[in-house]
């Protein structure tokens, strides 16, 4: 009798959470790579340094999402997603929000990719790897300023109209920045970053086109860009204006893509603004369970900052063991001009020991991605 009661109790305990979780989708991915990195300092006496990094965690993540039918075609939607950082035993929040969805589209509030980021994500075939296009796209001399996932965001995403869609978001982020006190442009105490971000997109019958615009201002922008790029001192409403255009086409197993981007940094009243252009092109061919591709990108010099440009390039090969599991091998390189400070993407040592003015970096990576 006791065993029977125990069995019933255990079954009830297991069934209860299943009922509660019935409308919840659990998803995510595990992504690890083994990387070899060669770094070269510039100049006649340039020195080569080499280091390998084992088991690099690359945006492994787990998420939970769901929807509730509220009647009249209206749904309540939500999502909680976290990056599991195996390098440092940490967790960073990704797109985490609550909202309403219906025939009008979706309105959400929380942390979310900005429309500016969403506009060209499809054109990055090597996202999260050493050749991620954020090496130059959205990056102002090695600092990612525009292609981001923003906290405290209110966004509207339109429905899809025969391939056409759009999104707009407002970000108003308050925070305390004690650590930055004393740095160029820093103000001790409460700070605020705010931005407006928008994009339009067409994705239909193999053809893709997008345009995005973002305007942001706040003290954090000045702190990030001040070293060697903006005049020293206290900034009066420093701001960034970013815009980009993307094109892509898929046919007979081939996927081609290209991006143009301009980012303008303004230190505020009495200071001259500076800007830089960036370009990115990519091609990929899928056949059977395999795919092979390459990319090339360039960041021009920043105004009045000579030799701050860089070139990125690379090739990669994917083999799909299943629809959810992919093995890959790739090579990526970045050639900095004398004052350029761009580095390869993520991983142990890739943006520390080798990310310095004038360094050229080459990376070789073997990785596995499993999605669930």
- Give the per-residue pLDDT at 247: 98
Distance CA 353, CA 153 (A): 34
Distance of CA 173 to the CA centre of its chain: 18
Tokens matching residue 7: 């069995």
255, 246 in Cβ contact below 8 A? Answer: no
Quick one: pLDDT at residue 185? 43
**Residue 14 has what pLDDT?**
44
- In order along its 372 residues, the chain shows pLDDT tens digits of 444 444 444 344 444 444 444 489 999 999 999 988 877 554 444 556 666 666 788 889 999 999 999 999 999 999 999 998 776 777 889 999 999 999 999 999 999 999 999 999 999 999 999 999 999 999 888 888 888 898 899 999 999 999 999 999 999 876 655 444 444 444 444 566 789 999 999 999 999 999 999 998 876 565 556 555 555 555 556 788 999 999 999 999 999 999 999 999 887 666 677 889 999 999 999 999 999 999 999 999 988 778 889 999 999 999 999 999 999 999 999 998 988 888 888 754 444 445 556 778 888 999 999 999
Q: Output the pTM of the full model.
A: 0.86
Residue 100's SS3 state is: strand
Q: Give pLDDT, residue 47.
A: 59
Long-range CB contact pairs, 45-53, < 8 A, 24+ = 49/353, 49/354, 51/349, 51/353, 53/347, 53/348, 53/349, 53/350
> Where do the domains of the chain lie, and which CATH numbers do they carry?
36-371 (2.40.160.10)
Contacts of residue 179, defined as CB under 8 A and 6 or more positions apart, other chains included, come to none
Note the Cα 86 to chain centre separation in Å: 18
For 120: left if phi > 0, alpha if psi spans -120 to 50, otherwise beta; the answer is alpha
């Amino acid at each position: 009798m006791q065993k029977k009661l125990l069995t019933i109790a255990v079954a009830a305990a297991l069934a209860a959470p299943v009922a509660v979780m019935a409308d919840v989708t659990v998803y995510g991915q595990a992504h690890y790579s083994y990387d070899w990195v060669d770094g070269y300092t510039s100049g006649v006496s340039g020195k080569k340094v080499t280091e390998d990094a084992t088991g690099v965690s690359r945006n492994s993540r787990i998420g939970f999402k769901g929807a509730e039918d509220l009647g009249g075609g209206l749904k309540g939607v939500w999502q909680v997603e976290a990056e599991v950082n195996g390098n440092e035993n940490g967790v960073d929040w990704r797109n985490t929000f609550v909202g309403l969805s219906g025939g009008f589209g979706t309105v959400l509030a929380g942390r979310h990719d900005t429309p500016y980021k969403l506009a060209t994500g499809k054109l990055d075939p090597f996202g999260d790897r050493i050749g991620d296009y954020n090496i130059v796209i959205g990056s102002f001399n090695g600092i990612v300023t525009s292609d981001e996932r923003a906290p405290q965001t209110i966004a509207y995403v339109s429905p899809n109209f025969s391939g056409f869609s759009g999104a707009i978001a407002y970000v108003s982020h308050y925070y305390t920045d004690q650590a930055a006190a004393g740095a160029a442009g820093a103000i001790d105490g409460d700070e605020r970053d705010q931005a407006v971000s928008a994009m339009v997109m067409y994705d239909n019958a193999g053809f893709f086109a997008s345009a995005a615009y973002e305007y942001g201002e706040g003290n954090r922008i000045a702190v990030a860009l001040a070293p060697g790029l903006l005049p020293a001192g206290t900034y009066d409403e420093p701001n960034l204006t970013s815009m980009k255009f993307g094109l892509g086409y898929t046919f007979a197993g081939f996927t081609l893509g290209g991006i143009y981007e301009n980012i303008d940094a303004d230190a505020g009243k009495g200071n001259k603004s500076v800007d830089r252009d960036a370009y990115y092109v990519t091609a990929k061919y899928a056949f059977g369970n395999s795919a092979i591709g390459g990319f090339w990108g360039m960041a021009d010099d920043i105004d009045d900052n000579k030799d701050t440009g860089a070139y990125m390039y690379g090739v990669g090969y994917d083999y799909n063991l299943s629809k959810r599991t992919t093995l890959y091998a790739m090579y990526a390189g970045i050639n900095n001009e004398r004052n350029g400070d761009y580095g390869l993407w993520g991983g142990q040592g890739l943006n520390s020991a080798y990310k310095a003015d004038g360094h050229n970096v080459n990376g070789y990576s073997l990785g596995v991605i499993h999605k669930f």
